[in-house]
Structure 1
């Protein structure tokens, strides 16, 4: 039953995230919000909604390892797995100015999380500062986009990726409501299944969070990146990942820490956040050499991801003995 819970939870998270995101985009269009702002904010928050629900749920139920591992694991999956898959579909070329701005913000956010991990805790005031930093960044990005047509165009392309959004007010409301129900329900049963499996098999919650839960909550980003790559909107594929990593750290951990203090386990603090930081820094040279991820680069990212996932087996008691 626990495996069924996990599968059902992942399906509900994916479907709920997709439906609520399309409803949110439709609502923003109805309210006259520009496509650039929809791409920058609504899609950014929307694709991170599964991570937010799972992280908050795990933290409130006294599973901080699962909560932190979900965010750290999602960021590792975003960079190594999702960009790897996208780059194999089509070489990913990015817009230089958008990359310098958003990429720098992503590196700073991950460096902040790495520093906080060394203290062992993320508490209310730190969470508030993280969320405030994200709001300030979004406001600044909005005014920068108004000045620079190329970055605004990138966020407009992000909105174009989400086609077939409803136009009727009743349908829009239904999309948002059903999507939120799917997200909440999916997060609930996914956490229950993951924790039960971790307990029954003696697998640390951090390992479950870094693998099954992290990959499952990253499905919206994987789908968005794959679709963007197939449509040759390769700058959108990179933008989805960079934006998601930024939101994961500043909004998800920020909001969760404001609800309840988050304790960071030693293995996550001393291993996984550094893997996340290394993946982030390795992405820089790959992109900055010619502002693209070629298929060889993508293969390197995928190999690195599977090596990392394989290394987690050493943390399972008795498995490698």
Structure 2
């Protein structure tokens, strides 16, 4: 038990560090390959910050722990809005770009509803997984097409990472960080999955609850770090783009990849408890962001407090229920 707890702590620490190195290497490589800023900000950073969820859920599915896989994906979505955006808004209110509301947030609502339809029968088959992955590929292709069709506008509206071109490491170092980050992401994800599943078995807690709490919060920490950094630079579109983009990748890519590795049985509590919370927070974000009749649209500290309180209440509900069931 003690060794498993140490494995979770070490796994999370290495996961966070290696995720930052992986993003640094990916962004640097993309800059040297002269990819448009919009592609770097939306796709490269989006995939990089979701890499922990991809690897943890993929390994969990491969090792026969489907509850941990889907719990990590849906729990990370809840943490991204409730915890990450909640804390970020408490630090600083932020303006909301009209484009993010119209396109990305609307798309996230559609994707969330589609995921309910696919998991409604209590399982994610490989066909269901493919139906999740294909729209993500289509979205990435659309972003690439838009950037290629209108590169000037794409660059102007791009949510760019922290590094400016002058701060980007040399091409060789970028490739090294990309490789080292990926290897350590794999190793730390494996360690984290082992530790989390061992603790769950020892406490009599389901893999799903561990995935929704400890693992989901841990794999969402890269999003918190990048969001706080973006707020310091007043790059508010990057914050919302980071949260919304990560949730798109989690709902479509993370669950889809895990389902392609092995079909997943979905616990009834996911449909009755976790998915409705995920949808509710997503709808609440859309309502707050639209600010009906008020311009310019913005998110304030009160709304951040609502998100954070909702996350605390949900997590307390999970922990209380888990220990009540274990006693």
TM-score, normalised relative to structure 2: 0.92
- Equivalent position to 1:28, from 22, 27, 30: 30
- Determine helix, strand or coil for the equivalent of 1:82: helix
User: How far apart are 1:149 and its partner, in Å?
Assistant: 6.0
What do residues 3-51 of structure 1 show as CA deviations (whole Å, max 9, x unaligned)? 1111111111111111011111111111111111111211111100000
**1:166 equivalenced with 2:169 (yes/no):** yes
Distance 1:177 1:320, change over 3 A: closer
Distance 1:210 1:86, change over 3 A: same
1:36–1:159 Cα contact (<8 Å) kept: no
**1:183 equivalenced with 2:203 (yes/no):** no
Distance 1:309 1:292, change over 3 A: same
**1:153 equivalenced with 2:159 (yes/no):** no
- Equivalent position to 2:98, from 96, 99, 113: 96
Q: Provide the residue aligned with 1:220 in structure 2.
A: 222
What do residues 140-172 of structure 1 show as CA deviations (whole Å, max 9, x unaligned)? 2334454496664342x3234578432132x12
Distance 1:162 1:275, change over 3 A: farther
Q: How does 1:74-153 map to 2 (within 5 A)?
A: 74-145=76-147, 146-147=149-150, 152-153=155-156
Q: How far apart, CA to CA, are the structure 2 residues paired with 1:148 and 1:34?
A: 7
Distance 1:320 1:297, change over 3 A: farther
2:28–2:168 Cα contact (<8 Å) kept: yes
1:313–1:319 Cα contact (<8 Å) kept: no
The CA RMSD measured in Å over matched residues stands at 1.9
What do residues 211-232 of structure 1 show as CA deviations (whole Å, max 9, x unaligned)? 1000000011111111111221
Q: How does 1:2-21 map to 2 (within 5 A)?
A: 2-21=4-23
Q: Provide the residue aligned with 2:303 in structure 1.
A: 297
Question: Between Structure 1 and Structure 2, how many residues are aligned?
Answer: 319
Instruction: Return 160-169 or 56-65, whichever deviates more.
Output: 160-169
- Determine helix, strand or coil for the equivalent of 2:35: coil
TM-score, normalised relative to structure 1: 0.94
Q: How far apart, CA to CA, are the structure 2 residues paired with 1:282 and 1:318?
A: 30
1:50–1:187 Cα contact (<8 Å) kept: yes
Q: Provide the residue aligned with 2:52 in structure 1.
A: 50
Q: Provide the residue aligned with 2:239 in structure 1.
A: 237
- Equivalent position to 2:201, from 199, 202, 209: 199
